A and B are shown apart, each in its own frame.
Chain A
Amino acid sequence: MQKYDIELINISKSFGIVKANSEISLSIAPGEIHALLGENGSGKSTLMNILSGIYTPDEGIIKLDGSEVKFNSPSDSIAAGIGMVHQHFKLVDVMSATENILIGLPGGLFIKPKKATREIQAVADKYGLKIDLSKKVYEMSVSEKQTVEIMKVLYRGARILILDEPTAVLTPQEIVSLFGILRNMKASGCSIIIITHKLNEVMEISDRVTVLHKGRSIKTLVTSETDMTELTTLMVGKPISLEIKRTDAAAELIKPLLEVSDLTVLNADKREVLDNMSFTLSSGEILGVAGIAGSGQKELCETIAGLQRAASGDIIYKGQSIIKMNPRDIIKKGITMSFIPEDRLGMGLVGGMSVIDNVILKKVQMQKGIIVDRKAGKKAAERMIERFGINTPSTHTIVRKLSGGNIQKVLLGREIEMNPELLITAYPVRGLDIGASYNIYDILNEQKSKGVGILFIGEDLDVLLGLCDRIMVIHSGKNMGIVDAKSTTKEKLGLMMLGQRPDDMAS
């Protein structure tokens, strides 16, 4: 009989009327990388939160090396050698990597820093993690922060690592290096559970994969004996096509919409985060933006949306300059611009309010009279839930209680239902399951053929190539060039993302 490190047996967990997990069983072998796959809201995070001691299951037992254990808190599960890296990091910004790793340990920050640093470095070297231990968290990129989170877990001696959508926020290069680390860990006997929505990652990294559907475990498969089609079918419950279509808008709809010229934006340290950037976007067009995370994507979106001030340059929307306008002015001018920012709960949504109250957020600014029209809001919310397949117990549910992907859909739904002329969207499918992602691509195409101009900040090059008309590549705030998506290649985009200009390359 196979010996398992961990066995979850018949785990059930409900939140009020929502059955997040029902009778799920899952076992993890030593030295195994096990992928968890399932649609948004299928209960993946909940199950892993149970395993890491954050939630207690209503029913079912957890066995560790064959004997039953009860986790009352995350420290219990850490003590048992299980560590989880959440999708939303929990680091202290003003502290260094070392301090963040030590905090919360018995003795905590009083441990001798030199000795601790040496020990941490030793662990990092063992698994091949690259980490600057003295760097402060607020100076770190997302992937560095993730490395600190992983270090934190490893330093506590975890031999079972849980990663909740770790690749959602990483660039392709960073994913490669993360997978390298995971393989090293596996080689030294650790087990890893990884949640991801990207099937190619499942195929690449995992040994076995378990598919969840609506809170139930559908099947556990050996990865090498399955394929993407089988996995999607199991996950969604029916076969779906994994092809991105590119539609074309009627020629008469294509008109100049947005013109950005010589745009320069400075950050708080007076450094150029956008450096003399110029480009145009027509209606009925999807302009992709590719670039390593932190190359100025956020600043570009926010400056167009009126949330950041430019140092110089101009933004012309249908002939009028909007560079000096804030979101309020933009709305007042009758410009219908939708913006889907990257950090949804930080900007865009109000986590503590209901779905309805989030749906009406922008309408309230435009409506006449002093009474908030929640009746219309409820209708709009119901329509949106239907159209985008949002999984929520009701329209009154607090948004923060939805699953990661469903939170995302609330924002996306609201912005698209506004029927904008210009749609700015940063990583719209981040955290969405396959079905939902393809649904979003379809919707973007549908918007485009209606004449909407779309600025699509993307990360997956295949998606950018398949969906966009043109792709602008940015590198440290500079426009490296705009290429035709139909004729360019991934390799070319990759080089441009690293700072080469297309005309410098031998074609």
Chain B
Amino acid sequence: MKIYGNLTMEDTSIRENGGQIQMGPQGGSVVNNKPSEQGNSQVQYSIPGILHFIQHEWARFELERSQWEVDRAELQARIAFLQGERKGQENLKNDLVRRIKMLEYALKQERAKYHKLKYGVDLQQGDMKPPVLEDSNNVDSQAETESPVVANHPSWRQGRQLLRQYLQEIGYTDRIIDVRSTRVRALLGLNNNAEQDENVNGAPVNGNESNKRASETQGRRTPAKKTQPSSLAEAMMMETEAAVMVNLDFLTNADVDMEDDDDINEDVELEPGDEMDDDVKAVKRKGKLDDDVDAEAMEVLNELNLLSESVDHQRQDIKEESNEWNKGLSYSSTGKPCRQLRINDEENIDSTLGLGELAQLTVNNDAETTYDISSSKEAFRKTWNAKYTLRSHFDGVRALAFHPTEPVLITASEDHTLKLWNLQKTVPAKKSASLDVEPLYTFRCHTGPVLCLAISGTGEYCYSGGLDRNIHCWHRSHGCSMSNIDPYDLFEPEVLNCTLSGHTDAVWGLSVLHSRQHLVSCAADGTVKLWAPHSEGALLNTFTSEADGVPSSVDFVNDEPNRIVAAFNSSHSIIFDTETGKPVVRLESGQDSVAANKQINRVVCHPTLPLTISAHEDRHIRFWDNNTGKIVHSMVAHLDAVTSLAVDPNGLYLLSGSHDCSIRLWHLDNKTCVQEITAHRKKFDESILDVAFHPSRPYIASAGADGLAKVFV
């Protein structure tokens, strides 16, 4: 062992390291005379005895030192973790405050509107300024001074200082640190799991061990402060200690008086123990508080949600804004109401926001709500679960579309019909968490399978294209909302508003440009047609590209309303100018497209970015730059052909469906799969035929060849 080397080197070093142990100047001669004195073991203070004692003491200090190193590393990790949590929690708080301010403002506007409508006078309700939000740095510095965590800082720092001093006093041995560091790492690895376990079960597995150790120490410790580990950090410290002690049992069992053992223990354990307690408790509270805050926020959101559609819009915008903040996406604001709600980064915090108690509330929450940085993003990322099963079609459901605002959707099936469903009119299915929905209305006019579907921006009209070459335009008359229909009402021929005939083969794709009430369709006859369905001479233009084959899917380019993108079964897509009718940009991968079947099954445009996304038969999803026509990203997205795509209204998530029976949710930012759901069964070699996001509510849906549609919440 190294002990010998150290001993023979210099007695001064021993004195320094040993601290309180008074060895006296004869230490050096002791070492030199060692061999000659060996026989005199009977003497009370024999040289070997002293040597033995020194060795023991040395080993003990080494041991304790290393142990403290372990503890220190653990505590530092703990500190880092807690600081991270605090930061995350601040982020969350900022977000909630932002949301509350937005809602407050929306509510005020709504009240003012209502008041004005009712009394014809402007309502005086104090501050009607749109909320201006502080940038995050300001909040940071504010929190810095206000939060109790920081208020504790001096004593905390003191504790650290003390610890550091102590460690410096007893020195540093790299070798032992090395040995211990693996154990520390293992412990830290356990850290997260253990914490969760404790939060849930109250007592971690290693609780017994630490209890044992605690009672062990209790005997030696005078007024024992804790007989049970009151915090995780302490439990872990004790556990480490116990482990170390067990391993080196022979040392503690040595019949040497270890007077200062207790002192040291107390010094080390009590100081940081008290400190840690507060913080750790804060962490423990975390789980519950998060829920509360979230639930409260959601409750508020839900209540406000009912107020009016415009508030709903605003809420959405708020969501968009906050997401935009997180993602740094540029967001175009065309045609959206309540622009004044845009958050201004540059402006400073306006303390007279008129939030009243709400503002207080959030400030008070400051230190208590904790949220991990990484999961603050996840606050908006939910796990989708199947909730509604829509069973009433006799054959595969080819397409589905949500109403823009109501919890209503329409499905189009190979059984020649379209059905309208209201998710609020459900039949509880026995023995399952999911609800069955019965259709409210069945649209019959197609004489063959219905292949595609689109709903106008107001939800007033629904367009469907079929194998029978026709595009039908459906309309619910007498102004009633789509959700108030008796399924067994009398037949109204005027439900069918008009029929657009012009295609000479199956119509496979439809898309609506909400701002202009334009409709674009593509068909197996090789043409893409642009319609103004509700005016005379509905057909506006026809686009073809014979070299590229048959168009399989179309969409409007969202950031340039004069453009449409058409995907062809040759795997190329073309962006056309709707006014000139000329192709503007070609989206070509450049590789030989004929060899593998790279047919595009679906093409969609990003709602805000100049980005086109295509789903291919060769299991890929490809991303294209609309300006350059170059491929931006390409990924194998499924185990089988990708059939359908949908981008959420905020442009953050992509939903894809495939014949591999699963739908997958992708984060558009980093193109990672967030969730996969096996949703439908196969009929022949087809499975999922369409997917959709609700434009304003948290619903997603999938349509399958098994004749079912499913809605996830």
- Real binding pair: no
